[in-house]
Structure 1
């Protein structure tokens, strides 16, 4: 923008003299700002479109990982359409992407790479992408070895660490079949309190031996990185805001459980 201001000032000065320097600088700055906003808006639109397209294509491949797509898996995909509040056009596109992913010649690694290039290393978006996949294949209460292996393949393609994968799995481990809400920490699934606490530490990405200060810092970092508004600004489709909000609730629930166990206020 500084260069645009200088160019504008030079042109303005050449045409109008000293008054033109100021006017040209202001117009140059304004023009550069408008151009930047237009480019940003276009880039975010591209990311959002690719996010939805790749999400459902990869989901189709995952659902077929064990050899066939069951009625339950199709129902899960349809339920996700409703949960994401997709309009009729988006639903049609999502179904087409899902069917593309089921094809025998579908390039899973290429699809993940395509999404990564468009998302430009936005790690929080990569995590959200995998979160949707985990939720989809776990929603029927069953995850086959083939599905799990393919899920790990997708995670590696996204460049996620083992800790990040465990965090997402811990958030979803307490949900029953078809669950769409809850704290994600097993409180509604009869999970042993000790295991719940271990899951809570995993969700925050810290060890149980971490100090109170380290736990609080990890909680704040997770909440900041996964704030729905920040994710939306980076290209997360608005339809996925509810899932992002669920994730922040799960992070909050994990922190509250740890605080309770440690006697912190």
Structure 2
């Protein structure tokens, strides 16, 4: 059964109208299937927090809708369920902090810089920058989500750098999370670790949809570009 069919089945089995309760129910309904729970949790996390980010920003642009569709390819007969979740999140009086806290408990390991929660944050950045810029309200939203997810400040900066490097030429050292002039052997070790951690097989195992791999490839492209820029600068120094 597809992920969207399972989500549809899940939604038909609950009567709650509060999105925060929907998120919490995922834990119990899919308790016996950890893999499906990760996949459902990731999908609902992206839908719920995307809706809250749109509300914080005040508008949903066509570019942002298209960016969301790059993360999820939803069958036409399941689109109404995505719309239902999106509307529930927008209408829910609970703040996005409450959503992020429940999602962190649902998706995460309880450890700082949890990889799956970073994937959620990466997806939100992808949507936020779809219109060409991460706006001030969106960045504030993303920073707060990162705090709730226990994404350390320095790690958040590397994520931010990945998503702004093409636009403003961000320092490649930030993309790799290293101090300028770090010895090249440590640069290479850091680069290899980041590439290994972001291998597509690892992302799929964490529960991200196959469509998300296009975003993961952009992540790797930013990491590769930063490494190559540092390598060139050291070669010709």
TM-score range, shorter chain: 0.7 to 0.9
Cα deviation digits, residues 229-254 of structure 1 (max 9, x gap): 11211222223122112211221111
Distance 1:118 1:83, change over 3 A: closer
Q: Structure 2 unaligned runs (5+)?
A: 1-29
Q: 1:95 to 1:112 in 2, by over 3 A?
A: same
2:75 paired residue number:
87
- Greater alpha carbon shift after TM alignment, 221-230 vs 101-110: 101-110
Higher relative contact order (CA 8 A, sep 6+): 2
Q: 1:232 to 1:41 in 2, by over 3 A?
A: farther
Shift of 1:113: 2.2
Q: What's the CA shift for 1:259?
A: 0.8
Q: Distance in 2 between matches of 1:124 and 1:135?
A: 16
Mapping 1:1-265, distance limit 5 Å? 42-66=33-57, 68-70=58-60, 72=61, 74-89=62-77, 91-103=79-91, 105-121=93-109, 123-173=114-164, 185-186=165-166, 189=167, 191=168, 195-196=169-170, 198=171, 200-263=172-235
Write the deviation string for residues 71-101 of structure 1: whole angstroms up to 9, x where unpaired: x2x5412442145333335543333222222
Distance of aligned partners of 1:134 and 1:82 in 2 relative to their CA distance in 1, 3 Å threshold: closer
CA deviations over 1:97-126 (Å, ceiling 9, x no partner) = 222222251342232222222223271111
* Kept in 2: contact 1:126–1:158 (CA 8 A): yes
Distance 2:194 2:44 in 1: 27
Change (3 A) 1:89 1:154: farther
**How many residues get paired?**
204
Distance 1:82 1:242, change over 3 A: closer
CA RMSD of superposed structures (Å): 2.4
Structure 2 length normalisation: TM-score?
Answer: 0.76
Normalising by structure 1, report the TM-score. 0.69
Report if the CA contact (8 A) 1:223-1:248 is conserved. yes
CA-to-partner distance for each residue in 1:161-219, whole Å, 9 max, x for gaps?
1112111111111xxxxxxxxxxx32xx5x4xxx54x2x11111111121001101110
- Aligned 8 A contact 1:119 1:125 in 2: yes
SS class of match (2:179): coil
Kept in 1: contact 2:191–2:227 (CA 8 A): yes
Cα distance in 1 for residues equivalent to 2:123 and 2:185? 31
CA distance in 1, matches of 2:31, 2:214: 24
Larger Rg: 1 or 2?
A: 1
**2-structure distance, mates of 1:94, 1:261:** 47
* Secondary structure of 1:65 counterpart: helix
Query: Whole-Å Cα distance in 1 between the matches of residues 144 and 220 of structure 2?
Result: 26
Question: Unaligned regions of 5+ residues in structure 1, if any?
Answer: 1-38, 174-184
